[in-house]
Amino acid sequence: MSTAIHKLGRTHARFTFFVCFMAALAGLLFGLDIGVIAGALPFLSTDLHINNQQQEWVVSSMMLGAALGALASCWMSAQLGRKFSLLTGAVLFIVGSLWSALSPNVESLIIARILLGLAVGIASYTAPIYLSEIAPEKIRGSMISMYQLMITIGILAAYLSDTAFSYSGSWRWMLGIITIPAILLFIGVLFLPGSPRWLAAHGRYYEAQKVLSMLRSSNEQVHKELEEIRESLKIKQSGWALFKDNSNFRRAVFLGVLLQVMQQFTGMNVIMYYAPKIFGIAGFTSTANQMWGTVIVGFVNVLATFIAIGLVDRWGRKPTLKLGLLVMAGGMGVLGTLLHLGVDTEFQRYFTIIMLMLFIVGFAMSAGPLIWVLCSEIQPLKGRDFGITVSTATNWIANMIVGATFLTMLETLGNANTFWVYSALNVIFIILTISLIPETKNVSLEHIERNLMTGKPLREIGAQD
Ligand code: BGC
């Protein structure tokens, strides 16, 4: 009997793992699509004869699509279901990848990138929500950081595959190969169960119970969770109405927007999208050097994410964020100074790259995962969907602005000034973190909500009273 129960427990655990893995695969695709353009851009620009402005549009059209996708998926995942949204995302990933690989000209490529963006936007909103609704309570916290880890692994995988194809210069293969994981995502999602919370919200309690009994190891647990879902559903989502009527909620939405603007204007994606170009500026002129340098950037990004996973719950969000921003300000500042003085010797060249890596460590250990964690913690239950959609869409709009202005900044301000601007922004963000960002470590979401709604200053909404 006890072995039978043990076996049953193992089957549940395996199924839960499969479900979480599939949803996290959406994170992987998010990363693949962010990363792939860095290596493909130099080749496709030559091949399609496009100028800097057009390059910026090739990069940033995806973010425009992603902002729209994030906004649309709030409605879609509430009305048609998380699973339906993920399937739609997977189809768009497939179509967008194939289309971009086959694009005859820059206009067609930009349309394909918007489609891919819609897919990324849907994935970036739906997958974390699905994960948090399906994961057992004990591992729910680490899930979001894991999701970020999958994004960074996706970026690294894209850099590696770009490098492999760079020897033949085949940008079409770089973009097209992503169709394979996209097809895997589509097939995997077909086998995913619906989210129990979504099913229950649509009155389908029997199905919700069936799903939960596939995912949890005891009947008691299933009933307990179903009861909790029933309780929490008594609070109806009414984000827009709350936004209009309640200034405290407006503060939470503002905080979510600020957090995402901060994440993007650290300048991280300047490196994610234009790494080979930056290596070129630093004096590494051969394509192989630039491509392998970019792979190292991706690798450092993955590794440093583990620092965050270890620190968020122990050291707290705020100190980690402050340290990360300081490291980023320093990295960008010194990088700008080196470019100002001129990078001539071998030593100077490598020092420039070390500063670039330092910046990546600063981001990955802090703002990368932490901003997503904070954004999911600060919204009151009633306005959660609304608050998270607004902050996710902000992430993509800010991302687009950064992607769409970098080359122009280099052209008009010069290399050194461009990096100094990002360094200065990181300094401003340290001040904003000190004055506005709350510490939410070890505080229940209900407690944060109470503090927010009774009007405590934003930086104190995580206080234990
Ligand atoms: C950000 C992305 C960024 C990625 C880098 C994510 O948290 O939202 O914009 O490219 O981290 O690892």
Domain ranges for the chain? 1-192, 236-465
The more confident residue out of 207 and 238 is 207
Handedness of CA 80, 81, 85, 90 (dihedral sign): negative
Three-state SS for 267?
coil
Question: Does ligand 1 have an atom closer than 6 angstroms to the CB of 148?
Answer: yes
- In this structure, the residue with its CA closest to atom 6 of ligand 1 is 368
pLDDT at 194: 85
Please compute, for residue 378, the number of CA atoms within 13 A of its CA located in the half-sphere on the CB side: 36
Question: Does ligand 1 have an atom closer than 6 angstroms to the CB of 270?
Answer: no
Ligand 1 atom with minimal separation from the 260 CA: 8
Q: Does the fold of domain 236-465 match that of domain 1-192?
A: yes
- In this structure, the residue with its CA closest to atom 10 of ligand 1 is 269
pLDDT at 140: 58
- In this structure, the residue with its CA closest to atom 1 of ligand 1 is 368
Question: Does ligand 1 have an atom closer than 6 angstroms to the CB of 35?
Answer: no
User: Mutate which of 148, 370, 392 to test ligand 1's pocket (most atoms within 8 Å of Cβ)?
Assistant: 148
Q: Model pTM?
A: 0.86
Cα–Cα distance for residue pair 87/189, rounded to 1 Å: 6
Structure tokens at 228: 């909790």
Cα 364 to middle of ligand 1, angstroms? 8
Average pLDDT score, the chain: 88
Q: Express each pLDDT in 48-68 by its tens digit.
A: 999 988 998 998 899 999 999
Structure letter (DSSP) for residue 381? G
pLDDT at 101: 95
Cα 30 to middle of ligand 1, angstroms? 9
Cα 369 to middle of ligand 1, angstroms? 8
Q: Express each pLDDT in 267-289 by its tens digit.
A: 999 998 888 888 998 889 898 88
Cα 298 to middle of ligand 1, angstroms? 11
Cα 368 to middle of ligand 1, angstroms? 6
Cα–Cα distance for residue pair 173/186, rounded to 1 Å: 20
| 1-192: in CATH 3.10.20.30 | no
Question: Does ligand 1 have an atom closer than 6 angstroms to the CB of 366?
Answer: no
Cα–Cα distance for residue pair 120/99, rounded to 1 Å: 15
Question: Does ligand 1 have an atom closer than 6 angstroms to the CB of 418?
Answer: no
Which segments of 334-419 are extended strands (E)? none
User: Which among 28, 13, 15 is positioned nearest to 193, based on CA atoms?
Assistant: 15
Determine contact, residues 109/100, Cβ cutoff 8 Å: yes
Ligand 1 atom with minimal separation from the 372 CA: 7
Ligand 1 atom with minimal separation from the 395 CA: 8
Question: Does ligand 1 have an atom closer than 6 angstroms to the CB of 66?
Answer: no
Cα–Cα distance for residue pair 350/118, rounded to 1 Å: 38
Cα 264 to middle of ligand 1, angstroms? 8
Question: Does ligand 1 have an atom closer than 6 angstroms to the CB of 266?
Answer: no
Judged against a pLDDT cut of 60, whether residue 6 lies above it is answered with no
Question: Does ligand 1 have an atom closer than 6 angstroms to the CB of 124?
Answer: no
Torsion of CA 85, 89, 92, 94, to 10 degrees: -130
pLDDT at 141: 56
Of 58-67, 82-91, 216-225, 367-376, least confident by mean pLDDT is 216-225
Question: Does ligand 1 have an atom closer than 6 angstroms to the CB of 70?
Answer: no
- In this structure, the residue with its CA closest to atom 4 of ligand 1 is 368
| Burial grade of 80 (CB within 10 A; 0-12, 13-18, 19 or more) | middle
- In this structure, the residue with its CA closest to atom 12 of ligand 1 is 152
- In this structure, the residue with its CA closest to atom 3 of ligand 1 is 269
CATH top-level class of 236-465: mainly alpha
Cα 235 to middle of ligand 1, angstroms? 32
State mean pLDDT over 5-27: 71
Q: Express each pLDDT in 415-453 by its tens digit.
A: 999 999 999 999 999 999 999 999 988 787 788 889 999
- In this structure, the residue with its CA closest to atom 11 of ligand 1 is 368
Three-state SS for 368?
helix
User: Mutate which of 272, 297, 391, 394 to test ligand 1's pocket (most atoms within 8 Å of Cβ)?
Assistant: 272
pLDDT at 13: 73
Cα 41 to middle of ligand 1, angstroms? 19
- In this structure, the residue with its CA closest to atom 7 of ligand 1 is 368
Structure letter (DSSP) for residue 217? S
Question: Does ligand 1 have an atom closer than 6 angstroms to the CB of 118?
Answer: no
**Whole-angstrom Cα Rg for the chain:** 22
pLDDT band at residue 5, thresholds of 50, 70 and 90? very low
Of 130-139, 262-271, 367-376, least confident by mean pLDDT is 130-139
Cα–Cα distance for residue pair 67/81, rounded to 1 Å: 19
